[in-house]
Structure 1
Amino acid sequence: MMSDGEFLRTSCGSPNYAAPEVISGRLYAGPEVDIWSCGVILYALLCGTLPFDDEHVPTLFKKIRGGVFYIPEYLNRSVASLLMLMLQVDPLKRATIKDIREHEWFKQDLPCYLFPEDSSYDATVVDEEAVREVCEKFECTEAEVMSSLYSGDPQDQLAVAYHLIIDNRRIMNQASEFYLASSPPTSSFMEEGMPLPPGVKAHPERMPPLLADSPKARCPLDAL
């Protein structure tokens, strides 16, 4: 988690999605470069291609620094203006999260099915471990975090941090469960004679040799 006024230096990620200040090796602020990357993603979703692309990396960087990209005719003016704000070379002139939320294209009425309620989430249950983690990150008290959670303000930074921690933990748990479910059974099942779980078949390479396939004792010639 970043604090206000904190700058970054690390250059990482796919070059096509990187902001000009990142590929130039300058100090940069996290939110501004994230807005640029989101602009690239939005363009790709709408146009089916990237706004800045070239197999020659130096040429690609030149295009990114120039900030000139093609806008198809079929894009309406509203979303085109949003893209131009998000892909602004000067980070000080680039759109902020607040600008995007207040943009006319973003504020269009969207169908309710795009925002399904999470029936598994219980707002009355507070994760104490997540609360303590927020306190460590923001150097605040548990009472302040609880006050933010019960305030109902979706933009409160302590509440947002708390929910991010919960979401990240849920994603990690789901990834772990998927990995375990998709992994083949270990050889210990066969070596130790343990039964395989229901619906799981032994891997061919791990099948124990059958008795009929074991080498037969050879009879000496003089015994024939």
Structure 2
Amino acid sequence: MKGLGTVTKTRNEIDNLQKLTHPHITRLFRVISTPSDIFLVMELVSGGELFSYITKKGFLGVKESRRYFQQIISGVSYCHKHMIVHRDLKPENLLLDQYKNIKIADFGLSNYMTDGDLLSTCCGSPNYAAPELISNKLYVGPEVDLWSCGVILYAMLNGSLPFDDQHVPTLFQKIKCEFVF
């Protein structure tokens, strides 16, 4: 999958996080620039990644998964209402605060959506990528985040991924339902 450069990812993260204030999105408090570095002063989220939490427990129960999923959807919906698509939603980018509330993090691959414009960049994490994202098709944006949310819900409830393969082309065939027998 094509990646964005570090400077571009950092600029995306700064630009998009400055537009967002929501209880389930990590807050950006301040940006400090020096001639050689950029520092982001962000909200402290001390509970670790949702990925580690799922791995530790094996899987999550329905009640706990529902609670987390509602928080994820609330944050993602807020992003979309503010014309921002995340494009890299996965348990590793969902942090837990001290009260075990979700905080969506890592907006480096996010993009600001403009009406009428379609996106084409294939980015994100292969196991959570939507079929249109990995098929080199144009996409609006929210649909790729919603696909990722569905994969995350599956992972929470089952402790595994719905599509998994060490060989990325085979993984993409599974995601796109392209099986050859």
TM-score bin, normalised by smaller chain: 0.3 to 0.5
Structure 2 length as normaliser, TM-score? 0.36
Greater C-alpha Rg: 1
Structure 1 length as normaliser, TM-score? 0.29
Answer 1 or 2: which has greater helix percent: 1
* Larger RCO of the pair (alpha carbons < 8 Å, separation 6+): 2
Answer 1 or 2: which has greater strand percent: 2
